[in-house]
Structure 1
Amino acid sequence: MSTVDEGDRLAAASEGARAVGAGRVGIGMVGTAFMGAAHSQAWRTVNRVFELPATARMAVICGRDAARTEAAAARFGWAATETDWRALIGRDDVDLLDICTPGDTHAEIALAALAAGKHVLCEKPLANTVAEAEEMAAAARAAGTVAMCGFTYRRVPAVSLMAKLVAAGRIGRIRQVRACYLQDWLVDPSAPWTWRLSADRAGSGALGDLGAHVVDAVRFLTGAEFEAVSALTETFVAERPLPGGTGNAPVTVDDAALFLARLGGGIVGTFEATRYATGRKNALRIELNGSLGTLAFDLERLNELEFYDGTQPSGEAGFRRILVTEPDHPYLSAWWPPGHLLGYEHAFTHQARDLLAAIGGGEPVRPSFDDGLAAQRVLDAVGRSARDRAWCPIVH
């Protein structure tokens, strides 16, 4: 264990003192990379923006490399460091474990944290297998603490508004769904190998990394469960150079996954997840076609929602853009005046807001570990369908 310099410690304490909430929640985060940075930004910001019944204190950040973890603590604003997640769980100043690690570690860390009576936020996908996810969901139900799966895109205001419009019946009965998540960071075959290309570490490739998000988003938006899928997956580049030029390593996950799906209520859908869509940087796209209208969203235009109101006269009908920045839109009353746009990082702040509200005020937590399990069952069925070249039912 070590402690960052006194200025950072005082800054962390001062942040807690300025926040509105009465209860303190000590955050212990495992992970110092991309997701660690995003989650740190959220914990730094949440009580400065939202009035909440609980206050986040950035108590401890944990990583395997001591020097790197110290640097992350100083940069992100954590009060102390650990290099062993077991020691992190054992600390009295940690009330919530925030798990930002590769999928092969999620189950072990989350189960230990829940057994110790800690709240848990676990990045998606919840686990690498259905069996792990089932054990985690059962432990969360039994623990009596709050356990959330980090499907952050539910917290994009436009997506939350989309769900509200669906629930209000504005597009009628949903008949079709089109959902895809497109990136291009692996297009170059000489791009180096990472843990995300290992089935042992990541569980799957584009399917779990990106497909998990569209599966959860569609469950969230429609309220319907997946019933069966028909899928194919493809790996375009079989091996990649190791960082540092020390040889090559095999790619043991999918590069792209495509599938058809039947959902409850007679909904049919098409889904795609790929890291080979040249020119697409972070294009999560969802379109819902209903009996009375259509809603469409694109993460690369995350402040906008497209709405076609089919109840309008044909001479006046057409897609209209809703700029989701008004104070009566989800989460927006705490931010800036209308027209002042939010960004990618704000969804993580909204996630932290909802988690603290659940801990401090008893609000229901969603997405729960049960939601993470539901998504994991769909991912598993997609993998089996691609392997067997057959329709595969989802067992709930």
Structure 2
Amino acid sequence: MHATVGLIGAGGIANAHLPAWLDLGYDVAVYSTADDADALIGRHGGGRAVHSLDELFDAADVVDICTPTHTHYELALAALGHALPTVCEKPLTRTLDEAEDLVARFAAAGVPLFPAHVVRYFPEYVELRRAVARGDIGRVAVQRHTRQGRSPRNGWYLDEPLSGGVLLDLMIHDIDIARWVGGEVARVFARTNVVDGSQSTQAFLTHLGGSISVLTATWTTAPIDFRTSFEVAGSDGLLHGDSDERRPFRYQGKAEPEADILPDFSPLTSPYRAELGDFLDSIASGLAPRVTARDGLEAMRIADAVARSAVSGLPIDLELTS
């Protein structure tokens, strides 16, 4: 008998998670309130639809939450009520208070909680982290990370109280990477500009060790491709990456409207498969995965400071936690 994943949600990001679970050899039970589970299953050739959360929890050995941001907290608590190891798409929750409570509850119960910060599994970012850890560029001084894409067309994304806007959709990835590479963050200063359906946030992070990270995240109504880039400068050199300079896989054909929010990646080397496999390995071994629940919480803590700074126009000092 195969182990079963209970996949909650059948929208955009589920198009990356479902095929990864199938490739890892799992049966997948899919539940969605939007009546799109059958379409997701048909698109990827595997899985089965269930008709309630209770049915999903009864079938599942692991839960994977791929739903709108504002639903993460309650769904994760429901999974915890069944003592099920849980993957939760980024951001971990909509608010910092929810994230703190969720992480504390899972830790107290001894149930694994995995925030799906997939960028840590993209090869260029893996190599970035390795190169910095090896000392290839000496002491890191400045990081610059950019992430841009078309403004979402889905209503809940554009409702900032529900989604958190471009900050929690795009920038949270680079918040996590900047902290992964540069260490804990002590101070944040940020600005946000909104013009009609376009939105851009820029944040300046001062790390505890003295280095600085400059992050820019943009949603735009202009007809642009999804793009990411980074430059990390140190005392002995510079590391550079740009998704426009090397695309190992390119798809041409009919666009899938629910899947086109995803960046290009090869199905043969899916970072989504890598992150889910890492979570499974951590459950089996008892060792920490590459992304821990605390990492998800700290990304939310920094994002919360970015949001508050953008509103107040003032820098925000963070209280560092152990």
TM-score when normalising by structure 2? 0.87
Figure out how many residues of one structure are paired with residues of the other and give that number. 304
Q: Look up the match of 2:50.
A: 82
Percent identity, aligned pairs only, is 28
Q: Look up the match of 1:283.
A: 227
Correspondent of 2:148 among 166, 173, 182: 182
* 1-structure distance, mates of 2:175, 2:85: 25
User: How far off its partner does 1:278 sit?
Assistant: 4.2
Deviations 1:161-200 (A, max 9, x none): 11111111111110111111112x23xxxx8552101123
Deviations 1:65-88 (A, max 9, x none): 44x322323333444322333442
Is 1:209 equivalent to 2:169 in the alignment?
A: yes
Deviations 1:355-381 (A, max 9, x none): 121122323123122111101111111
Aligned residue type for 2:290: R
Listed as ranges, the gaps of 5+ residues in structure 1 are: 1-12, 14-23, 47-55, 239-253, 305-340
Tell me if structure 2 keeps the 8 A contact 1:61–1:78.
no
Deviations 1:215-270 (A, max 9, x none): 01111223x111111111122117xxxxxxxxxxxxxxx81111212112110121
Is 1:381 equivalent to 2:305 in the alignment?
A: yes
Is 1:145 equivalent to 2:111 in the alignment?
A: yes
> For residues 325-364 of structure 1, what are the structure 2 equivalents within 5 Å?
343=266, 346-364=270-288
> For residues 1-396 of structure 1, what are the structure 2 equivalents within 5 Å?
24-46=2-24, 56-66=25-35, 68-89=36-57, 91=58, 93-183=59-149, 185-186=150-151, 192=153, 194-202=155-163, 204-222=164-182, 224-237=183-196, 255-276=199-220, 278=222, 280-301=224-245, 343=266, 346-396=270-320
* 1-structure distance, mates of 2:291, 2:153: 33
Larger Rg computed on CA atoms: 1
In the superposition, relative to structure 1, how do residues 113 and 192 fare at CA in structure 2: closer, same or farther (>3 Å)?
A: closer
Tell me if structure 2 keeps the 8 A contact 1:157–1:303.
no
* 2-structure distance, mates of 1:192, 1:43: 27
User: How far off its partner does 1:40 sit?
Assistant: 0.8
* 2-structure distance, mates of 1:275, 1:236: 10
* 2-structure distance, mates of 1:103, 1:302: 31
* 2-structure distance, mates of 1:104, 1:140: 19
Q: Look up the match of 1:10.
A: none
Deviations 1:310-339 (A, max 9, x none): xxxxxxxxxxxxxxxxxxxxxxxxxxxxxx
In the superposition, relative to structure 1, how do residues 176 and 277 fare at CA in structure 2: closer, same or farther (>3 Å)?
A: farther
In the superposition, relative to structure 1, how do residues 193 and 62 fare at CA in structure 2: closer, same or farther (>3 Å)?
A: closer
Tell me if structure 2 keeps the 8 A contact 1:115–1:143.
no
TM-score when normalising by structure 1? 0.72
Tell me if structure 1 keeps the 8 A contact 2:22–2:46.
no
* 2-structure distance, mates of 1:172, 1:277: 40
User: How far off its partner does 1:145 sit?
Assistant: 2.7
Listed as ranges, the gaps of 5+ residues in structure 2 are: 249-263
* 1-structure distance, mates of 2:297, 2:190: 20
* 2-structure distance, mates of 1:114, 1:193: 29
Aligned residue type for 1:361: S
Tell me if structure 1 keeps the 8 A contact 2:93–2:99.
yes
SS in 2 for 1:235: strand
Deviations 1:61-109 (A, max 9, x none): 011144x3223233334443223334422x1x30111000011110111
C-alpha RMSD of the superposition: 2.3
User: How far off its partner does 1:271 sit?
Assistant: 1.2
* 1-structure distance, mates of 2:282, 2:245: 29
